Amino acid sequence: MTAPLTPPHRPSPHDPAWPPPYPSASSSSDADDAPDVATEVRQGAVVLLAVMLAGIALGLLWLWLAPRIPLVSDGKAVFLKATEGEGAVGADGTYTLLALGFGALSAAVVFWFHRHGGIAIVVGLALGGLLGSLLGWGVGTLLGPAHDVAEHARAVGAGVTFDAPLELKAHGAVLAWPVAAMLVHLALTGLFGPRDPEPDWDAPA
């Protein structure tokens, strides 16, 4: 009577089923859920375009909510009707607050539809916010009062009050939208984003 060459609890090394497969750190289902590079790039482009077009709404709201600066002409020169007015500061502040709100809202919407995140999504959100800020600035100033103050004064006549052009003197305000979007998206991803799977420490060595 001879002893078996291999222990009863361990199959032969020549068995095709040996060695047993080890579980991977991430399952195949998780890999299938993550979009490929081409899909992620397309999603980033859609995010960029959608966020940029939202800048039209920013410009219209800025034109509607920004305080006006009344001017008046005596036939020879144009003067501020209210010398203590703070319309220019109010216009910059209104634009900045609206841009911050649009940044937070766009980040929340993008996170809602793309919880998996991705570099292309984040780049599209940031670049779209910057382009949207510039577009809103352009829409507000283009649809606002005429920029040729002297011509406008001659058109309305002496002693008639008219509005000064809508201007954004604090040019750095165009960064409010992308900065707010990045901060809010980062916070949402940290709080509610998908977590990496825990490694299986029970796997045999």
* Averaged pLDDT, groups of 10, the chain, 205 residues long: 51 53 46 69 94 97 90 73 66 95 96 87 96 96 85 75 85 96 93 67 55
Compute the distance between CA of residue 29 and CA of residue 46 in angstroms, rounded to an integer: 26
Q: Please compute Rg for the chain using Cα positions.
A: 30
pLDDT in tens, 93-144: 999 999 999 999 999 999 999 888 789 999 999 999 999 999 999 999 999 8
What is the pLDDT at residue 11? 53
Enter the DSSP assignment of 27. Answer: -
pLDDT value for 110: 95
Looking at residue 2, its pLDDT comes to: 53
The identity of residue 140, as a single letter, is G
Task: Write down the H helix ranges in 144-175.
Answer: 149-156
Q: Given this model, what pLDDT does residue 100 score? A: 97
Which residue type, as a one-letter code, is found at position 18?
W
